[in-house]
Every structure is written in structure tokens, then in C-alpha cells.
Amino acid sequence: MASLKLEHIYKVYPNGHKAVTDFNMDIKDGEFIVFVGPSGCGKSTTLRMIAGLEDISTGELYIGDTLVNDMQPKDRDIAMVFQNYALYPHMTVYENMAFGLTLRKVPRTEIHEKVMWAADVLGLKEYLDRKPKAMSGGQRQRVSLGRAILRNPKVMLLDEPLSNLDAKLRGQMRSMISKLHQQLKTTFIYVTHDQVEAMTLGTRVVVMKLGRVQQIDSPQNLYDHPVNKFVAGFIGTPQMNFFNVRLKEEKDHVDVIWKDCEQPALRLSKDQVLKAEKKFLTGEKDIILGFRCEHVSAEEEELAKGDNIVDVTISHFEELGNETLIYGDLKEIEKLGEESTTGIIIKAPSKMGHVAGDVIKARINVEKINLFDAETEITIIPPVPERNVLPVSIKNEKMDLFGEQTKPASIPVDFLENGTIALPLDATQVCEKGSVEGKVVLVEKQGEITLAMVEVKGKKLFLKVEEGVKAGDKVKFTVDYSRATFRDEKDAVVAEPLKDRDCINATFVNYKTAEEVTKDPSFAKMKDEKVAKVKAEYEEKRKAFEAEKERALKEAQEKQNAVNASVAEREAALAKEKEETKKQLAEAKAQYRKDVKEAKAKHAQIMKEEMAKIDAQYKKMKDEEKADYKEFMMKNKDPESRRSRRTSYSVFKESFPAMKASDVEKRTNSLDFEKETELNGLKARYSQLVALSKDKLKEDERKFKEECYPLETTTKEYEKKTKAFDKEEQDALRRAELLFFFKYDEFYQLLPDDITNKIIQGMGERVFTKIFRIEVPHDGFEEKEGALEFKVVSLVNFGDVKLYKCAGTMYGEKVNVYINQERDIALGEVIHLAPIVEKTQIYEDERNIRLY
């Protein structure tokens, strides 16, 4: 059982086609993850990358926190069920399931036990001796499932396992797979293009399109809160109804107007569109309205509610037994005649007496609607909004945002008339010494995040708050204006947010080159320190190991003396046992041969009887027909009926041999088939018997050797152990000497081990020739002498956040860096800064691949 981590997985084929782009996911242990999406969206490629059948262009894959990027499929401890079952046609079911374990040299008794366990879990007990071609699709799929679960792998991968089965069987197999998942508690990763399977099986579903992840969420969230129009259209049958509309914000409600119409059709309450940005509610932006067919109904008690009623002309029905889908067109839009989507699907208990062509009224349940921006097709009412957009105006050093306040010096805007300020959600942090205070209006829980809507001087915005906050509390928060974007009324950007990360280039260098260039004694000291630490660690390990060895040898010596007496007699017992098993095997062989001959004779006998029976049966039929024909001919003389009787008789004669042949063939087939299964069974029993007795013999020999010559076995054992120990120590020492540095212009910075591993993992041996772009956040710098030299140029003051702008030269060109330091630095002072590597993001500059 294991968790699975995919970090920035890219799959780029040699011809440049990007199959999978930036796939990130953390899968906890025991989850049932479903990859779903149209064909060609990269879901199978991702699965095959996890399985190791395709190599990962960049990015890291951890199975149970061991890095498996370069591991062979067989070492990743995963199992896979293929779409076309991939069973070995020439092996019986038993051999198919046991093949994996026989390759890994698992003792035969254990294999036998495991196969029996898997067989009764999947109900394949009586098919064990059959060949795959003699079994139905469902049974074959269960065999490949059995083969997979047999090795109780860390992760089970299923590649569209049910797509070759018919509908009824698919339902059964679906329930079997989910039952299997509960029973085994292994992590399942299931790929399908059928969204019904995704919704029913998955604890979490990943919707993908053209290699990109659209949304990862539980099936219910996907159904209710799709992140964009594609997910909304893909999940749920029948497809969601989509209409082009415009939103117009009124005093106490929001009007929904069909595109190119005048009067509003539907009315939404204000808090439904609270999280939408204001620009969508002005009525100029095209919006796509989407709602499920069960959220619109034509029943009386719904219509009685009176609001949001639309007229629908019915075009046709789809009766599914338990419910009926009414397909129709909205009257208002219909008369416009343009081809925008007018079709609407309504779910109703029955036809309700309507006939195609009627015009009926239907009420849309407005709470359950989805709204998407027509351009980007992304939802405008996300559960957790990314940013708050608030009106603001700035006049001569004064800013009217949260009430009148002085404009922080470094906002580069002097005059702005009713513009907007967009603040990312995490630019507004709730904390005690916040400069702005607001009253909490309502609190919502979205997954792990609690979201509070806070009102400050009449303006509403959303903030992330802790668990305990309730409506009505007072809350203080700080605002980081450096990350704000200012826009004027025509939505043109007036001030860009300050880049939150500064970029520096560096090259990757190993210890030798760094040491030669800088002759800096501290590096050598660091290296020796590290080596010394490792040496010391291995010193005591070796001591403990030696002690243990001593003890084991002494113990073995005692056992040796005790048992010496009985060695001779034990040896005799063993020899006798060998003799016995040989005899037993010979006997079993004779018995097996006899059984086989007997079975063959028996079956030959059955076959003969069967053939005789068929011949008799058909002969009788033929004679009867002949007699009936003769008799008919004698009886009546009318030429017409005689001719038709004669033709029907000749047709009978013509088709008789073929009919008989097919019947014979059918029956002999089933007989042969039984014979084959029986013979297979005999063979399997016999070979198992031989194998088991051989294994037992080997086992006894081993036990004999161990008990009678404990000293010799333990010494040999420990020799092996010491060799392994030395090798391990040597490896560790060699690795300890490895130190790597980032070289910024002249300054060398030692990198911690985990980061170096990540970089080396990503780049391989070409790491020395690559240029890396280090993106350092404002608080990512620390003062360190000898580091990069910067001159503080100016102070950027964003109210709560104070940043110093420093200029320096790197590789000859000017670089500006913003740092926020506790101690205040005088302008023009020269300081030495070094990036704190843990806080930075490291990219490989050329192909812009993120490594850390």
C-alpha cells in the first residue's frame, strides 16, 4: 500500500508533440483515482509513465516516497490490467496468474497458496486449468485482475479494463472492482473515457483535456462545481444545457438576459454572484449559463413558485422507464432564429400528457446554475475566488480604498478616477497588527479552507480565516500593495504588480572546480566535516556489526557441539527420505501415466458413443423424411403440390449433410474441450506434486545443513553480510565527498543534498552544461559577507510591506532585486546578499522546466 506523488510531469515526444503538460498530483494511500477525458488527452500516457512503460520527459514520480523515474517497471512494485487483458494464450489460467511470481523465484508452495487465494476472491476456482481462449470476456478480465492482485503491489493500474465488455457485464465488473478495492485497500489508478465509470468508482476524479489537467476533485464536486465549461459538458449524462446570456446587476438582484434580447428572463439573488468579479455583472461581458436537466422542471408545484419561468416548445421525448427527458427549444430565443444553442433538456417523471410541438412552461431552479466567462470558459463563481477586485480612486497622494488613507509612496499611480484594484487572495493576510479592520458578514467552509466575507466601509471582499471565526466578528488584515494591479474604468492596466520573485542565473558546479577556483578553505573544511561525520557514523555501525557477528558465531559454535553427536544419524534419515521421495515420484509418474491413458480411453469411448448416437439420430430423421415423401407422392396426384413437395425434399437432401456436420462439430468440440481440461488438470496435479516434493526435499536438505553445520552456515552468512556492509560504507563515503555548488558570477554557494539530488535527477550528467534560473522571493535573501554585492538604491514602501530596491551587476548586466529586511538599511549602503536556496524556485532556463 503506498502513496503516489507526481511533480511537474511532462511528456514530450521527439517530434515535439506535448502529450502531457505539467501534471501535478498527490495521491494518498488507498485512494481510488480515475483519469477520465476524451481519447487522446494523455490519460493513458500518464498511466503508462507511472507504470514505467514510457519514460518521463521531465518531472519526478515518487511511489511511496522512493523516486522511481529511472526504475524498471518490474522494480516499481506495481501491477497493471490491460485493455485487451494481455493474457499469455499458451498458458493455463493457473500458469498465467503464477507467471509473475515464478519469474521472481518465489517458492512454489507460496505461489500455490496465493493463486488459490486470488482464485476464490475472483471466483475462478474451477477455471484454473483452462486456456484463456476457452473463456468469456468477463472471465478473462477476472484472470488478468487475479494476475495483478496476486503480487499485492503498492499501486494497481487499470487501463480501460472494461471497454471490451458488453454493458451488462460492465456493470458487474464495475462492482467487483470497487469491492476488490475495499477488500485490498491498495491504491487504484483507473483510466477510462466513460464518465459513468469515473463517477461511480472514483474517490477522486482527474478530468484531462489535450494533456492538461482540467480539474481534480471528488465526483460530486465535479458534478456540482465544474471549473470550466469542458468539465461541465463532459461530466453527467445527458449533457448540461448551455445558453449565451448577459448578466446585469440591479439594486437587490441580478438580471439574466438572453443574448441579443431586451427584457430579463431570469433573476438571481445577489449572494449567488458574490464571488464573481464586478466586470462580469455590467452586462457587456458574454456569459455562458449552464444548468443540469434535473434543475429545470415542468411540474405544477415547481411552477407554482412563480419565478424564473420560461416557455419551451417540445421537439421530442426520450423515455428511459424511470424518467423521461423532454427535448425542446426556448421560445424567446427561437424567434431570433440565430444558431446559438437553444436546445434544452428537461427531466420529468413521465411525458405528463404532453405531445411533441406543445408549448409548456418550465421553471429553472436558479440556485444550482453555473456561470462561465464566454472567452476563457472558466467559471466566474469559483468556490474559492483567486482574487478580490475592489473599486478605488486616487487623487494627489490620497487613496480612497478602505476609506480615506494616504497612498503608499511607491504606488506609481498619481491620479485614478473610479478605477479598480485587483488583490490576489493571499495578498490580504488576516493577522493581529493588520492595518485595516472589517466585519465578518458570512463564513463558508470549502474543503480545508474556511472563507469569510468581510465588509470594510461598504466594500465586500473575501479572506482566508482560521476555523473558529463566526459571522459578526471583527477581523484585522494587512494588505500587500506590491502585488496589486490597478486598472482604470476602461479596464486598461494602469500599474503592474511588482514581480514577487527576482530572477538570478547560476551554473551548477562540483566540488573540484569550485575548490580549484576559489581556494576557499571553508569548502575543504565543509567537505572534511561531512566525510568525518559519515566516517564516524559508520565506525560505530561497524562496531555494532562486529559484536553481533561475534555473538552469532559463539552461539553457532555451541549448537555445533551439541548437535555433532546426532549428525551421522540425521544424515542417514535424510538419505532415506531422498530414497523415499524418489520412489514416491516414480509411483506418481506411473499413476499419472495410467490416469492419462484411462482418461483418453474414457473420452474416446464417450466420443464413439456420442458419434453413434448422432448417426442413429440423423439416420432416423433421414429415413422418416424419405418414407413421408414416398407416402405423400403415392397419396395425391395434383402436379402443383407434387412439384413443391419434390423441391422441398431435394432441399432437405441438399442441406442434410451440412446440418449433420455442424451438429457433430458442435458436440465433438465440447467433448474435446472437456477432455483437454481434464488432461490439463491431471498434468497440473502431477507437476505440482513433483514440484512440491522436490521443494520439500530441498527444504529438508537446507534445514539439515543449517542444524548440523550451524557454524559453517552462519560464517558463510556473515561473510556475505560483511561484504555488503563494506560496499555500503564505501558508497556512503564516496557520496559524502560529493559537494555541489551554485556559482553566481564569482560567489559559490553550497547546496544541500536533497536539492542537488532533485537537480541531478532532472538533468542527468548534462547538469554542468546547463544554466539555471533561480527565482528568489522578496524574503528569500539573507546577508552574508563575500556573497553577491548590491547597493541599496531606494526604499519601496507599500504601507505594511517595506522593500528595499537594490541594484547589482551579475555577469556584467544590471540586476534589480527587492528584499524586505527587518533591520532598516540606509540608502546607498553596499550590502552582500545570498539567496536562501530552500525558499527559491529553480528552473532550467533553456526549456523552462521547473526542478525544485
Partner 1 sequence: MAKVQVSKRFMDKSQRVLAYVILSVISIIWLFPFFYLILQSFADIQNPLYNTKSIIPNIWTFNNYKALFTDSRVPFIRWWLNTLIIAFFTALLQTILVLMTSYALSRLRFKGRQGLMKLILILGMFPGFLGMLVIYYILELLGLNTSIYSLILVYTASSAMSYYVAKGFFDTIPKSLDEAVMIDGGTKNTVFWRIIIPLSKPIIIYTILVSFTGPWGDFMFGKYIIQTAQIQPTGYTVAVGLQGLTTMATNELYGAFCAGAVLVSIPITALFFWLQRYYVEGIAGGAVKG
Partner 2 sequence: MTTIQYLSLTKFERFLVNVGNFFKGIGKGFVNFFKGIPHKLLVLWHKICSPFDTLGQAWKKGSWGVRTNFLLMGFYQLTHHQIVRGVLYLLFEVVFIWFMITTGVPYLAKLGNLGSFAAKSSTYLDDVASGSSLIIQGGDRSFTILLYAIVTFLLMLIFVVLWFFSIRDAKSLQDNIYVGRYAKDSQFFHDIVDSKYHTLLLAVPIVGLVGFTVIPVIFMIITGFTNYSGTQFYLFDWVGFDNYAGFFSNTNSSGLFTIFFKVLAWTLLWALIATFTNYFLGMVVALLINKKGIKLKKLWRTVLILTIAVPQFVSLLLINQMLAGSGVLTNLFRNWGWITGSESAFDNALLSRVLIIVVNTWVGVPYTMLICSGILMNIPEDLYESARIDGASPFKMYTAITLPYMLFITGPYLLSQFIGNINNFNIIYLLSQGKPSYGMASLGYGDVGETDLLITWIYKMSMEGQDKSYAVACALGVLVFIIIAVFSLIFYGRSNSVKNEEDFQ
Residue ranges binding partner 1 (CB under 8 A): 51-53, 72-74, 78-80, 82-84, 86-90, 99-100, 103-104, 147, 640, 644, 647, 650-651, 654
The item of partner 2, partner 1, none sharing an interface with residue 738, based on CB under 5 to 8 Å by kind, is: partner 2
82 binds, among partner 2, partner 1, none (CB under 5 to 8 A by kind): partner 1
By C-beta, is 147 or 181 nearer to partner 1? 147
Q: Which residues contact 276 (CB under 8 A, 6 or more apart)?
A: 247, 371, 380, 381
Residue 547 contact, options partner 1, partner 2, none, Cβ 5-8 Å cut-off depending on partner type: none
Binding site partner of 734, from partner 1, partner 2, none, Cβ cut-off 5-8 A by kind:
partner 2
Q: Does 553 bind partner 2 (CB under 8 A)?
A: no
Q: How far is the CB of 684 from partner 2 (least distance, A)?
A: 29
- Residue 615's contacts (CB-CB under 8 Å, 6 or more residues apart) are none
**Percent of residues in the chain assigned helix, strand, coil, to nearest 5:** 45, 30, 25
**Residue 809 binds which entry of partner 1, partner 2, none, CB below 5-8 Å type-dependent:** none
Please say which residue, 53 or 389, places its beta carbon nearer to partner 1: 53
Q: Which is nearer to partner 1, 160 or 515 (CB)?
A: 160
Stretch that binds partner 2, among 302-310, 467-475, 698-706, 734-742 (CB under 8 A): 734-742
**793: Cα separation from own chain's centroid:** 49
C-alpha grid cell, residue 830: 553596499
- Residue from 278, 608, 653, 735 binding partner 2 (CB under 8 A): 735
Measured between alpha carbons, how far is residue 300 from residues 297, 362, 363 in Å? 9, 9, 10
Smallest separation (angstroms) from partner 1 to the CB of 90:
5
C-alpha span between 11 and 19 (Å, rounded): 5
Count of residues in contact with partner 2, rule CB under 8 A: 12
Let me know if 619 is exposed, middle or buried by CB neighbors in 10 A (0-12, 13-18, 19+): exposed
Nearest approach, Cβ of 765 to partner 2 (angstroms)? Answer: 3
CB of 52 to partner 2, least distance (A): 12
CA-CA-CA-CA torsion sign (235, 240, 242, 248) = negative
User: What letter represents residue 444's amino acid?
Assistant: E
Q: Could you tell me which of 166, 148, 187 has the C-alpha nearest to residue 29?
A: 187
H/E segment holding residue 798: strand 781-798
Q: Are 746 and 597 in contact (CB under 8 A)?
A: no
From the list partner 1, partner 2, none, pick the one residue 766 interacts with, judged by a Cβ distance below 5 to 8 Å according to partner type.
partner 2
By CB under 8 A, is residue 738 in contact with partner 2? Answer: yes
Exactly one of 553, 567, 664, 760 binds partner 2 (CB under 8 A); which one?
A: 760
| Pairing outcome for strands 449-456 and 459-465 | antiparallel
| Distance in Å, CB of 732 to partner 2, minimum | 11
Selection from partner 2, partner 1, none that 768 binds (CB < 5 to 8 A by kind) is partner 2
Q: What H or E segment, with its residue span, contains residue 476?
A: strand 474-479
Minimal distance, residue 156 CB to partner 1, in Å: 11
Distance CA 108, CA 234 (A): 48
Min separation Cβ 45 and partner 2, Å: 21
Residue type, 674: E
CA atoms within 13 A on the CB side of 503: 11
Q: Which stretch binds partner 2 (CB under 8 A): 245-253, 330-338, 485-493, 732-740?
A: 732-740
- The reply to whether 768 sits near partner 2 by the rule CB under 8 A is yes
Q: Does 72 bind partner 2 (CB under 8 A)?
A: yes
Nearer to partner 1, 39 or 396 (CB): 39
Stretch that binds partner 2, among 262-270, 441-449, 765-773, 823-831 (CB under 8 A): 765-773
| Angstrom distance (rounded) from CA 520 to CA 458 | 61
Cβ neighbours of residue 426 closer than 8 Å, sequence gap 6 or more: 464
Nearest alpha carbon to residue 274 among 244, 296, 253:
253
* Closer CB to partner 1, 110 or 719, in the complex: 110
Residue 767 interacting partner from partner 1, partner 2, none (CB closer than 5 to 8 Å by kind)? partner 2
E strand segments, 210-336? 212-217, 241-249, 253-258, 266-269, 282-291, 296-297, 309-319, 324-330
The overall longest dimension of the chain from CA atoms, in Å, is 131
If one asks whether residue 734 binds partner 2 (CB under 8 A), the answer comes out as yes
Least separation, in Å, of the C-beta of 725 and partner 2? 18
67 binds partner 2 (CB under 8 A): no
- For residue 509, what are the CA distances in angstroms to 76, 520, 745? 32, 15, 12
- Pick from 466, 540, 665, 765: which binds partner 2 (CB under 8 A)? 765
Residue 765 site contact among partner 2, partner 1, none (CB < 5 to 8 Å, cut-off depends on kind): partner 2
Q: Which does 37 bind (CB under 5 to 8 A by kind): partner 2, partner 1, none?
A: none
Q: Which residues pair with 329 in a beta bridge?
A: 313, 343
767: contact with partner 2 by CB under 8 A: yes
Cβ at position 735, least distance to partner 2 in Å: 6
Residues numbered 503 to 522 that lie near partner 2 (CB under 8 A) are: 510, 512
Tell me, residue by residue from 465 to 504, as one string, x for binding to partner 2 by CB under 8 A and - for no binding: ----------------------------------------
| One character per residue 773-812, x = contact with partner 2 (rule: CB under 8 A) | ----------------------------------------
Q: Which is nearer to partner 2, 109 or 510 (CB)?
A: 510
| Interaction partner, residue 84 (partner 2, partner 1, none; CB < 5-8 Å by kind) | partner 1
- Is the Cβ of residue 74 or residue 608 nearer to partner 1 in the bound state? 74
Which amino acid type is present at position 684? A
Task: Let me know how long the chain is.
Answer: 852
| Cβ(511)–Cβ(739) below 8 Å | yes
Measured in whole angstroms, how far is the alpha carbon of residue 561 from the centre of its chain?
60
**Taking a C-beta distance cutoff of 8 angstroms, is the pair 596, 679 a contact?**
yes
DSSP 108-144: HHHHHHHHHHHHHHHT-GGGTTS-GGGS-HHHHHHHH
Contacts of residue 794, Cβ cutoff 8 Å, sequence gap at least 6: 804, 805, 827
Q: What, of partner 1, partner 2, none, does residue 78 touch, CB below 5 to 8 Å by kind?
A: partner 1
Question: 147 contacts which partner out of partner 2, partner 1, none, CB within 5 to 8 A by kind?
Answer: partner 1
Partner whose footprint covers residue 79, from partner 1, partner 2, none (CB < 5 to 8 Å by kind): partner 1
Report the interface residues with partner 2, using CB under 8 A. Answer: 72, 510, 512, 734-735, 738, 760, 764-768
